[in-house]
Amino acid sequence: MIHPGTGKPIVPDDLEPLFGHELIKQEFSTDRWIEIPEEVRQILAQWRCTPLYRARRLEEALDTPAKIFYKYEGVSPSGSHKTNSAIAQAYYNMKQGVKKITTETGAGQWGSALSMACSQFGLECVVYMVKCSFKQKPYRRALMETFGAQCIASPSDTTEAGRALLASNPDSTGSLGMAISEAVEIAARNEDTKYCLGSVLNHVCVHQSVIGQECITQMELADAYPDIVIGCCGGGSNFAGIAFPFIGRMLQGKEKIRAIGVEPSACPTLTKGTFAYDFGDTSHFTPLMKMFTLGSTFVPPGFHSGGLRYHGMAPMVSHTMALGLMEATSFHQLDTFKAGVAFAKAEGIVPAPESTHAVAATIKEALRCKEEGKSETILFNLSGHGHFDMQAYIDYHDGLVRDYVYPENEIAMALAGLPSVAE
Amino acid sequence: MIHPGTGKPIVPDDLEPLFGHELIKQEFSTDRWIEIPEEVRQILAQWRCTPLYRARRLEEALDTPAKIFYKYEGVSPSGSHKTNSAIAQAYYNMKQGVKKITTETGAGQWGSALSMACSQFGLECVVYMVKCSFKQKPYRRALMETFGAQCIASPSDTTEAGRALLASNPDSTGSLGMAISEAVEIAARNEDTKYCLGSVLNHVCVHQSVIGQECITQMELADAYPDIVIGCCGGGSNFAGIAFPFIGRMLQGKEKIRAIGVEPSACPTLTKGTFAYDFGDTSHFTPLMKMFTLGSTFVPPGFHSGGLRYHGMAPMVSHTMALGLMEATSFHQLDTFKAGVAFAKAEGIVPAPESTHAVAATIKEALRCKEEGKSETILFNLSGHGHFDMQAYIDYHDGLVRDYVYPENEIAMALAGLPSVAE
């Protein structure tokens, strides 16, 4: 990470105003293993180990020789993988004496997870929710409020960043980048307040790696090992969570896999972005990170997978991509909803719109296996359920979901504004 | 059961127009054990055994010496215990060559469960949903539609029963009794169509007993046994599911327990009803069943726990009550939502409004234990999550939830109309 003022690499102290101390240590750590504290495990144990399922009924419906497995993170209290890192982040902040946490949320998965985590440790929680999601998903907000959090539509008039954004576009539907700016501002200004991020950073991804680690043990029990590991990609944490432990084994000379990140065609960071230093937020409060990016000023169109509406990508996922250790692919949302409904009918679980991207890629690979007569083993991360996203399914049933054209001009403009960094 | 026309006991043949053959056999069976078919187990195994949790954080929040355990049925694909009997009912009907299933639903838990079950076995599914719930819960309807079912607000103009009800009251908010009349009418009229019920009957309750059976084994693993077993009571199936296996042991001379059924104060069937023969539905299509009832023409006020808005009670639960093997208690909804929010903050899971009744009774018992300095063990059934009931929580947060007075006059009038049956 580069300090935007000095152009020099960030040191841990630079992040102290924003993040909890222990989390900063983890962000910079080069340790291969970081122990999950006992108090965090006690809570995670309520739903972990999460189930690994063989999708036999989906296999039958597709008439494919492929073996499909999925890890179901939707059994967590907030309904997605996000709780894995939320509990840890809230815990470390509580230990340090922090009183209040701010954050942003897109689809609401992260905001719900952090709200739940904060309620466990008696922390105040303020969530800036991307405005278009805030309107689409009143039940998400209700969930956060039930856990005792405050949920504010972003851009808002509660921060300088928000007021500036509203002044330039009063009708802004918001973006993750904007919401991050607001949440960061509040944390930077208040001594007893820290900021938490739901994806992108190393200390977030590391707490998601429990997903893939469990998968390795569970697949062993099933006497199987994946040829392909699939996860949807927004900020990168659920993909990193399931894929990195497998990629780690591959780097140790063990089993080879194909790791596939799946993104929305309307926000194609890995498939059409540039690998460069860029800001994590719209208002340029954050350090610069080397990552695949569509430009920090790019505002993705308002498609339903709010959790995938991010201009950047986890530096570790970007690095993995740059090293050629993973592939990326993209789908339009009409195709992902079609896949999601097919999955629900076969397996009985309604996927979150984000997760339908992983489902769509899985179905595509399973149909390729059928064409080629191969019985490959596919593992994908069903990162969350769609219980709070039923308006999206209503719109889909009613024919109101449309595909967004690849926003070429907007992305080109945003990329043209990339900061120049001497490496 | 008594035939309303002849006044004689129902024989299995009388039910053939409505129910699948194997289910009728189970309804009349006196076998102590009925095997779950392998094909049904294959599907149930996706989420069963459901978790049994020790509510340590709720215990701490209440500062009670009581040990609180809860069985969490919300991990099923449709989010409640209802799936246990839905899968079995859909399976038996499919085996018999039935093409289409009709049913009613209140809160939507049963309708979602049956929709999911029908999608597993390629059956058409038509759900009559109580009109006030249909309006309150668009996401429930979307869930059923995602599983491929058709969901109709009841009373509707698609049946004679519905048209008659609308003619007498065009603004009717509906009731389970009315919706049953509509669903039963469609099944009775069509050769390839059968009706399925989500609670009340023996063949429904028996498939819920897996809950209590699992609890016995799970509590053994935890080296514990409940002094008190608690479930909410609408039609009676989730209560029967968790409590009957424990009551069965008690009848065999094993451990004594207190079994407590919890109902809404605005629909107090067990606590204020009459033990008598009554119809299961409003339009009097069903056989007469001996049960606690508020009168089949009683329309419960539109409180949020749609699954508890039923005038009757499972005959087996009623029998258990009459024998003094269980207790019943009731709560107003402001108190149950308060309990639900306290539970969510402590345990991280938002309960369905129905289940908050069990939570409220559990908290009451735990606080009694604190007063009396006793460390009793309490087990309750968290029968479902509230993900599709967040509008109720929004209303509660906004101060819009109110208690309904005990509807004394309406119930007295309905009870005055009880059919006379020579026993």
Instruction: State yes or no: cis peptide before A151, omega within 30 of 0.
Output: no
Question: Is pLDDT at A302 greater than 90 in this prediction?
Answer: no
The DSSP bridge partners found for residue A67 are A377
| Binary contact (B394, A142; C-beta < 8 A) | yes
| Binary contact (A397, B46; C-beta < 8 A) | no
Q: Is B284 an 8 Å CB contact of chain A? A: no
Tokens (6 digits) for B242: 């968790």
List where CATH 3.40.50.1100 sits in chain A.
40-79+202-415, 81-195
Tokens (6 digits) for B295: 């009168």
How confident is the model at residue A404, as a pLDDT?
93
Residues whose CB falls within 8 Å of the CB of residue B140, separated by 6 or more in sequence, listed in order: B105, B107, B108, B111, B112, B129, B133, B388
Q: Is A75 an 8 Å CB contact of chain B? A: yes
0.90 surpassed by pTM: yes
Residue A237 contacts residue A198 (beta carbons within 8 Å): yes
User: Per-residue pLDDT averaged across B255-259, rounded?
Assistant: 98
Question: Is pLDDT at B65 greater than 90 in this prediction?
Answer: yes
* Chain A nearest-CA residue for B113: A348
Residues A360-369: pLDDT tens digits? 999 999 999 9
Helix, strand or coil, per DSSP, at residue A318: helix
Question: Is pLDDT at B64 greater than 60 in this prediction?
Answer: yes
Distance, CA of A127 to CA of A108 (rounded, Å): 9
DSSP per-residue letters across B6-29? T-SBP-HHHHTTTS-HHHHHHHH-
Residues B351-368: pLDDT tens digits? 999 999 999 999 999 999
ipTM of this predicted structure: 0.92
How confident is the model at residue B422, as a pLDDT?
64
Which residue of A146, A359, A396, A401 is the best one to mutate when testing the B interface, meaning the one whose CB has the most B CBs within 10 A? A146
Check: CATH 3.10.580.10 for A40-79+202-415?
no
| Binary contact (A46, B348; C-beta < 8 A) | yes
Could you tell me the pLDDT band of residue A132, with boundaries at 50, 70 and 90? confident
Residues A184-209: pLDDT tens digits? 999 999 999 999 999 999 999 999 99
Nearest to A390 among B78, B116, B142 (CB): B142
Residue A51 burial (C-beta neighbours within 10 Å; 0-12, 13-18, 19+): middle
User: Per-residue pLDDT averaged across B18-42, rounded?
Assistant: 96
How confident is the model at residue B177, as a pLDDT?
83
- Return the closest-CA partner of residue B140 out of B102, B104, B109, B176: B109
Helix, strand or coil, per DSSP, at residue B296: coil
Distance, CA of B66 to CA of B60 (rounded, Å): 10
Where in B268-355 does DSSP place strands (E)? 274-279, 288-293, 327-331
- Return the closest-CA partner of residue A409 out of A264, A298, A312: A298
Distance, CA of A94 to CA of A111 (rounded, Å): 17
Q: Is B388 an 8 Å CB contact of chain A? A: yes
Chain B residue numbers touching A347 (CB-CB < 8 A): 46, 77
Distance, CA of A97 to CA of A113 (rounded, Å): 20
A374 versus A283: which is more confidently predicted?
A: A374
- Residue B117 is given by DSSP the state H
Helix, strand or coil, per DSSP, at residue A401: coil
Using CA atoms, how far residue B102 sits from A231, B79, B98, B234, B297, in Å, is 38, 20, 11, 20, 22
Residues whose CB falls within 8 Å of the CB of residue A269, separated by 6 or more in sequence, listed in order: A233, A263, A292, A293, A294, A310, A311, A312, A313
Q: What is the residue-averaged pLDDT of chain A?
A: 95
How confident is the model at residue B176, as a pLDDT?
84
Q: Is B344 an 8 Å CB contact of chain A? A: yes
Q: Is A419 an 8 Å CB contact of chain B? A: no
Residues B120-158: pLDDT tens digits? 999 999 999 999 889 988 999 999 999 999 999 999 999
Q: Is A77 an 8 Å CB contact of chain B? A: yes
Nearest to A345 among B47, B147, B345 (CB): B147
Using CA atoms, how far residue A48 sits from A40, A134, A360, B60, in Å, is 11, 29, 26, 22
Chain B residue numbers touching A119 (CB-CB < 8 A): 344-346, 348
* Type and span of the H or E element at A88: helix A83-95
| Binary contact (B348, A148; C-beta < 8 A) | no
How confident is the model at residue B421, as a pLDDT?
81
Could you tell me the pLDDT band of residue B86, with boundaries at 50, 70 and 90? very high
Q: Is B74 an 8 Å CB contact of chain A? A: no
Question: Is pLDDT at B296 greater than 90 in this prediction?
Answer: yes
Torsion sign (Cα): B90, B93, B99, B103? negative
How confident is the model at residue B48, as a pLDDT?
96
Question: Is pLDDT at A423 greater than 70 in this prediction?
Answer: no
Residues A406-420: pLDDT tens digits? 899 999 999 999 998
Distance, CA of B414 to CA of B296 (rounded, Å): 7
How confident is the model at residue B162, as a pLDDT?
96
Residues B297-350: pLDDT tens digits? 998 888 889 889 899 999 999 999 999 999 999 999 999 999 999 999 999 999
Residues A51-106: pLDDT tens digits? 999 999 999 999 999 999 999 999 999 999 999 999 999 999 999 999 999 999 98
Q: What is the 3-state secondary structure (H, E, C) of A221-248?
A: HCCCCCCEEEEECCCCHHHHHHHHHHHH
Residue A335 contacts residue A364 (beta carbons within 8 Å): no
Chain B residue numbers touching A349 (CB-CB < 8 A): 77
| Binary contact (A77, B391; C-beta < 8 A) | no
How confident is the model at residue B423, as a pLDDT?
56
How confident is the model at residue A4, as a pLDDT?
87
Question: Is pLDDT at A405 greater than 90 in this prediction?
Answer: no
Q: Is B60 an 8 Å CB contact of chain A? A: no
The CATH architecture annotation of domain B81-195 reads 3-Layer(aba) Sandwich (3.40)
User: Per-residue pLDDT averaged across B385-390, rounded?
Assistant: 95
B297: amino acid identity, one letter: T
How confident is the model at residue A422, as a pLDDT?
64
Question: Is pLDDT at B285 greater than 60 in this prediction?
Answer: yes
How confident is the model at residue B229, as a pLDDT?
98
| Binary contact (A142, B51; C-beta < 8 A) | no
How confident is the model at residue A306, as a pLDDT?
86
User: Per-residue pLDDT averaged across B179-202, rounded?
Assistant: 95
Q: Is B47 an 8 Å CB contact of chain A? A: yes
Q: Is A79 an 8 Å CB contact of chain B? A: yes
